[in-house]
Amino acid sequence: MSLTNEQLLAVLDQSKTATAIYTTEDIVIESANKAMLAFWDRDNSIIGLSLDVALPEIKNQPFMDMLRKVFTTGIDDIGEAIRADLVVDGRLQTFYFDYEYRAIRNPAGEVYCIIHTAVDVTERELAKIELTRVRAMENAQKKALMESEDRFRALVTSTSDMIYSMSADLYIMYQLDGRGFLSDTTEPIDDWISKYIHPDDQEKVKTAAQKAFRNKEMFELEHRVLQADGKIGWTQSRAVPILNDQGEIMEWFGAASDVTNRKMEEERKSDFIGMVSHELKTPLTSLSAYLQMLQGKSKMDKDTFTLGALDQSVKQVRRMTTMINGFLNVSRLESSKINIDRSRFDMAGLVEESEAEAIPMFSSHQLVFAPVEETYVNADRDKISQVINNLISNAVKYSKQGSMINIACITVNGSAQVSVRDKGIGIKQEEISRLFERYYRVEGSQHIAGFGIGLYLCCEIIKRHEGKIWAESELGCGSTFYFSLPVVA
454 binds ligand ADP (CB under 6 A): yes
451 binds ligand ADP (CB under 6 A): yes
**390: number of CA atoms within 13 Å, CB side?**
27
In the complex with ligand ADP, which residue's Cβ is closer, 32 or 324? Answer: 324
In the complex with ligand ADP, which residue's Cβ is closer, 403 or 411? Answer: 403
Q: How far is the CB of 403 from ligand ADP (least distance, A)?
A: 11
Judged by DSSP in three states, 55 sits in coil
Query: 264: which residues sit within 8 A by CB, 6+ positions away?
Result: none
Q: What is the footprint of ligand ADP within residues 133-172 (CB under 6 A)?
A: none
Q: What is the footprint of ligand ADP within residues 408-427 (CB under 6 A)?
A: 422, 424-425, 427
DSSP assignments along 131-185, one per residue: HHHHHHHHHHHHHHHHHHHHHHHHHHHH-SSEEEEEETTSEEEEEE-TT--EEEE
Q: How far is the CB of 438 from ligand ADP (least distance, A)?
A: 8
Query: How far is 342 from 340, CA to CA, in rounded Å?
Result: 6
Helical spans, DSSP H, in 221-303: 260-301
In the complex with ligand ADP, which residue's Cβ is closer, 241 or 454? Answer: 454
Contact 454, 382 (CB under 8 A): no
Number of chain positions touching ligand ADP (CB under 6 A): 20
In the complex with ligand ADP, which residue's Cβ is closer, 347 or 455? Answer: 455
In the complex with ligand ADP, which residue's Cβ is closer, 31 or 479? Answer: 479
Q: Which of 442, 461, 462, 469 binds ligand ADP (CB under 6 A)?
A: 442
* Binding mask of the shown chain, residues 392 to 411, with x at each position contacting ligand ADP by CB under 6 A: --xx--x-------------
Nearest residue to 407 (alpha-carbon basis) of 390, 431, 383 = 390
In the complex with ligand ADP, which residue's Cβ is closer, 239 or 396? Answer: 396
441 binds ligand ADP (CB under 6 A): yes
Question: What is the arrangement of strands in the sheet containing 478-486, beginning at the earlier edge strand?
Answer: 366-372, 404-412, 415-422, 478-486, 468-474
**274: number of CA atoms within 13 Å, CB side?**
15
Query: How far is 350 from 328, CA to CA, in rounded Å?
Result: 24
Ramachandran angles phi, psi of 28, nearest 5°: -85, 135
445 binds ligand ADP (CB under 6 A): yes
Interface with ligand ADP by CB under 6 A: which range of 4-12, 156-164, 229-237, 391-399?
A: 391-399
Interface with ligand ADP by CB under 6 A: which range of 54-62, 137-145, 201-209, 441-449?
A: 441-449
Rounded to whole angstroms, what are the CA distances from 32 to 25, 82, 243, 263, 341?
17, 19, 66, 92, 108
Interface with ligand ADP by CB under 6 A: which range of 79-87, 280-288, 303-311, 435-443?
A: 435-443
Give the footprint of ligand ADP on this chain (CB under 6 A): 394-395, 398, 422, 424-425, 427, 435, 440-442, 445, 450-456, 479
